[in-house]
């Protein structure tokens, strides 16, 4: 029996001891990232130690969820078996969002026609159910 | 102890590339066959046989289709070689250029006298290979539908256009130049010349990346052989010496959490290669740059210092063809010759060797002594390439 698009699941993150506070935060409606207690730099993606000073004292802080689109693309084709669950969503926008506090985050721009998305657009986090108990932080224009 | 002028490339081997096995009923070749074929071609070119490599060096490059942890040993078993030094290329598309330096270091240190650097992949003919992803990609890109490099380099290209004002005309010119060179290269896969209009009309894959911006996945195998500068003098073909080499991995220009993706590690790798070689930019007559995508070729020209940042005027006025001001992508690049996974980047080493030997036929750059090849691999989260390498080759030690 041929599988229908609806049955094909999308890949989800692997929750590890290092990244768990991020995903717990998302489920609680908070965008959480690490900040080094010793040198003050932001650290993302989640790491066991600071990439700048090697400190293992990284504090999880909540960000405002506000940022600007640094760059984006409109996905028009599926590439690779693992990602075929996204076929029904095409065309959709993935973007690099530069958050007001500093870190760059890769996500989707939703709630906006794909041809209206622009670099430097102001965006705000929204939390979307990704299935299997995972909440995905996505962004919409503000 | 420097590796400059201590070693030379003395053999090159390149199988034809194909896309067989993509459709049911098509004949298929395995990765092992492409490996054996590429090794035989490189050994014939150098005037060596398999037995010459026992007790010497073997460098096998990991591909996305074969990432099992003992891959270099599997390659040795396929070729029937018993190396004394086993090097491995784990830098993705940068591996072929990275290994020029690693092999030169092993030879210069006296660990071995010959190194066979080899890679092959058959993504269309062999299925079920394991495709790995970094934890960052698995956790923070794939759940958002990031379609691999197409998507990530689209972020880079989109921002590049925003900051530089480059348009389809600029990218199209590079695409047309590459295809023109491919039309003169009997080993190329796509050989029908194109126009800028063809580029503009090619379909959008991941805006602003179009089909004619993208590398062409293919089956195939490639190899090159290095030896000491001393031994190279008595080999069959004119030696092509490694004059300068540099690598840079995990580069971040700016904060790690918000790096500038328009300046890659090629800036540092290239600087190291130029400093080691003592060769000046004006003497480099051929640039064979890793071309997974057209904008990446242009960013590397900037990174290497052949023009300024966002230098639209330079890209407009420069003739990049093989008889022009600054010949680039003289083979046609992987975009036209095909990319058998991370094997593909070796094209740029092989082409520079061919040009310097004077074996490039209808696309031969006149009066060439020095050329540069680059490799890049892995697109890191929120920035650009993780692995980068550059090598300057020349006909005099
Ligand atoms: Zn720190």
What local confidence, expressed as pLDDT, does residue B318 receive? 98
Mean pLDDT on B344-363:
97
A58 and A108 fall within a common domain: no
A102: domain CATH number is: 2.40.50
Which of A43, A63, A83 finishes a domain? A63
Backbone angles phi, psi at B76, to 5 degrees: -60, -40
Residue B100 distance to chain A (closest CA, Å): 29
Peptide bond into A108 cis (omega under 30): no
The CA-atom distances, in angstroms, between B266 and each of A107, B5, B23, B48 are 27, 21, 38, 34
Question: In this structure, are strands A58-63 and A42-43 parallel, antiparallel, or unpaired?
Answer: unpaired
Which of A63, A78, A96 finishes a domain? A63
What local confidence, expressed as pLDDT, does residue B346 receive? 97
Q: Terminus-to-terminus CA distance in chain A, angstroms?
A: 44
pTM reported for the whole predicted model: 0.96
Examine residue B1 and state whether it is found in any structural domain, yes or no: no
Examine residue A31 and state whether it is found in any structural domain, yes or no: yes
Residue-wise pLDDT for A1-18, tens only, equals: 445 555 689 999 999 999
Residue whose C-alpha is closest to residue B340's, from B104, B115, B134, B95: B95
Kindly list the residues from chain A whose CB atom is less than 8 angstroms away from the CB atom of residue B153: none
Residue with tokens 């504090």: A59
Please say if the pLDDT value at position B216 is more than 60: yes
Mean pLDDT on A71-96:
95
B121 and B166 fall within a common domain: no
The upper half-sphere exposure of residue B63, i.e. CA atoms within 13 Å in the direction of its Cβ, equals: 30
Give residue B161's pLDDT band: very low, low, confident or very high (50, 70, 90): very high
B176 and B265 fall within a common domain: yes
User: Which residues are within 8 A (CB) of A84 and not within 5 positions of it... i.e. 6 or more apart?
Assistant: A8, A78
Residue B211 distance to chain A (closest CA, Å): 11
Residue-wise pLDDT for B94-103, tens only, equals: 999 999 999 9
In terms of residue numbers, what domain contains A80? Answer: 64-142
Peptide bond into B316 cis (omega under 30): no
Residue B166 tokens read as 């480059």
B197 and B224 fall within a common domain: no
Q: Measured between alpha carbons, how far is B180 from B330 in angstroms, rounded to an integer?
A: 9
Most confident stretch, A7-21, B20-34, B297-311: B297-311
A23 and A70 fall within a common domain: no
**Number of domains, chain A:** 2
A47 and A72 fall within a common domain: no
Backbone angles phi, psi at B34, to 5 degrees: -65, -35
Examine residue B211 and state whether it is found in any structural domain, yes or no: yes
Residue with tokens 């006909």: B395
* Among B213, B382, B384, B386, the residue to mutate for chain A (most A Cβ within 10 A): B382
Residue-wise pLDDT for B230-270, tens only, equals: 999 999 999 999 999 999 999 999 999 999 999 999 999 99
Q: Measured between alpha carbons, how far is B129 from B68 in angstroms, rounded to an integer?
A: 9
B82 and B163 fall within a common domain: no
Mean pLDDT on A79-96:
94
B93: domain CATH number is: 3.40.47.10
Handedness of CA B170, B175, B176, B180 (dihedral sign): positive
**Percent of chain B predicted with pLDDT > 70:** 98
A123 and A86 fall within a common domain: yes
A54 and A83 fall within a common domain: no
B126 and B224 fall within a common domain: yes
B225 and B196 fall within a common domain: no
Listing DSSP states for B275-298 in one string gives: HHH---GGGEEEEE---SBHHHHH
Residue A93 distance to chain B (closest CA, Å): 9
Listing DSSP states for B133-198 in one string gives: --HHHHHHTGGGT--HHHHHHHHHHHHHHHHH---HHHHHHHHHHHHHHHHT-TT-S--S---HHH
In terms of residue numbers, what domain contains B18? Answer: 7-131+218-238
Residue with tokens 């039309």: B183
Peptide bond into A91 cis (omega under 30): yes
What local confidence, expressed as pLDDT, does residue A1 receive? 42
Residue-wise pLDDT for A25-48, tens only, equals: 999 999 999 999 999 999 999 999
Examine residue B255 and state whether it is found in any structural domain, yes or no: yes
Listing DSSP states for A105-137 in one string gives: EEEEE-SS-GGG--TT-EEEEEEEE-STT-EEE
Mean pLDDT on A110-126:
98
**Percent of chain B predicted with pLDDT > 90:** 91
What local confidence, expressed as pLDDT, does residue B128 receive? 54
What local confidence, expressed as pLDDT, does residue A32 receive? 98
B313 and B375 fall within a common domain: yes
Which of B238, B268, B303 finishes a domain? B238
Examine residue A113 and state whether it is found in any structural domain, yes or no: yes
Q: Measured between alpha carbons, how far is A61 from A36 in angstroms, rounded to an integer?
A: 10
B202 and B225 fall within a common domain: no
**Number of domains, chain B:** 2
Helix (H, G, I), strand (E, B) or coil at B30: coil
Helix (H, G, I), strand (E, B) or coil at B229: helix
- Within an 8 Å CB–CB cutoff, is residue A55 touching chain B? no
Mean pLDDT on A90-97:
98
Q: Of the candidates A51, A73, A89, which has its C-beta nearest B207's C-beta?
A: A73
B344 and B226 fall within a common domain: no
Examine residue B336 and state whether it is found in any structural domain, yes or no: yes
What local confidence, expressed as pLDDT, does residue B132 receive? 74
A73 and A109 fall within a common domain: yes
A104 and A83 fall within a common domain: yes
Residue B275 CA, distance from chain mean position: 21
Residue with tokens 């090629």: B266
Examine residue A7 and state whether it is found in any structural domain, yes or no: no
- Within an 8 Å CB–CB cutoff, is residue B127 touching chain A? no
Residue of A nearest to B129 (CA): A81
Q: Measured between alpha carbons, how far is B216 from B192 in angstroms, rounded to an integer?
A: 15
Examine residue A42 and state whether it is found in any structural domain, yes or no: yes
Average pLDDT, chain B: 96
B317 and B185 fall within a common domain: yes
């Amino acid at each position: 029996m041929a599988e229908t698009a609806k049955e094909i699941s999308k890949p989800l993150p692997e929750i590890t001891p290092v990244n768990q506070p991020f995903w717990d935060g998302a489920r609680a409606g908070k965008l959480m990232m690490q900040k080094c207690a010793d040198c003050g730099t932001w650290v993302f993606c989640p790491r066991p130690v600071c990439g700048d000073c090697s400190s293992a004292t990284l504090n999880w802080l909540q960000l405002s969820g506000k940022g600007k689109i640094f760059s984006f693309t409109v996905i028009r084709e599926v590439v690779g078996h693992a990602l075929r669950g996204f076929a029904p969503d095409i065309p959709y926008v993935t973007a690099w969002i530069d958050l007001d506090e500093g870190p760059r985050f890769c996500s989707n721009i939703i709630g906006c026609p794909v041809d209206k998305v622009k670099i430097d657009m102001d965006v705000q986090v929204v939390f979307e159910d990704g299935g299997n108990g995972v909440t995905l932080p996505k962004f919409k224009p503000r | 102890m420097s590796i400059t002028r201590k070693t030379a490339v003395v053999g090159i081997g390149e199988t034809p590339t194909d896309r067989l096995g993509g459709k049911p009923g098509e004949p298929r070749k395995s990765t092992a066959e492409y490996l054996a074929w590429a090794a035989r071609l490189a050994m014939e070119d150098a005037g060596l046989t398999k037995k010459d490599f026992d007790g010497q060096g073997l460098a096998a490059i990991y591909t996305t289709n074969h990432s099992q942890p003992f891959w270099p040993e599997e390659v040795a078993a396929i070729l029937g070689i018993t190396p004394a030094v086993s090097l491995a290329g784990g830098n993705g598309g940068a591996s072929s250029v990275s290994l020029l330096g690693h092999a030169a270091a092993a030879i210069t240190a006296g660990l071995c006298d010959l190194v066979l650097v080899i890679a092959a992949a058959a993504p269309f003919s062999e299925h079920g290979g394991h495709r790995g992803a970094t934890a960052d990609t698995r956790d923070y890109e794939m759940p958002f539908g990031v379609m691999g490099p197409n998507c990530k380099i689209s972020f880079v290209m989109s921002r590049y256009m925003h900051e530089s004002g480059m348009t389809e005309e600029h990218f199209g010119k590079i695409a047309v130049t590459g295809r023109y060179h491919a039309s003169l290269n009997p080993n190329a896969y796509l050989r029908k010349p194109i126009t800028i209009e063809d580029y503009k009309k090619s379909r959008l894959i991941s805006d602003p990346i179009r089909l004619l911006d993208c590398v062409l996945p293919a089956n195939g195998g490639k190899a090159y052989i290095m030896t000491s500068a001393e031994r190279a003098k008595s080999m069959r073909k004119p030696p092509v010496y490694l004059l300068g080499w540099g690598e840079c991995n995990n580069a971040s220009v700016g904060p790690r959490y918000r790096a500038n993706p328009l300046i890659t590690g090629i800036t540092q790798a290239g600087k190291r290669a130029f400093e080691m070689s003592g060769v000046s930019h004006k003497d480099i007559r051929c640039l064979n740059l890793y071309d997974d995508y057209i904008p990446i070729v242009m960013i590397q020209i900037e990174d290497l210092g052949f023009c300024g940042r966002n230098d639209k005027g330079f890209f407009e006025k420069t003739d990049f063809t093989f008889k022009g001001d600054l010949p680039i992508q003289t083979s046609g690049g992987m975009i036209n010759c095909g990319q058998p996974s991370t094997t593909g980047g070796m094209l740029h080493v092989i082409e520079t060797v061919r040009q310097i030997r004077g074996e490039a036929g209808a696309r031969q750059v006149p009066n060439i002594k020095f050329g540069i090849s680059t490799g890049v691999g892995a697109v890191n989260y929120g920035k650009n390439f993780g692995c980068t390498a550059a090598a300057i080759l020349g006909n005099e030690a």
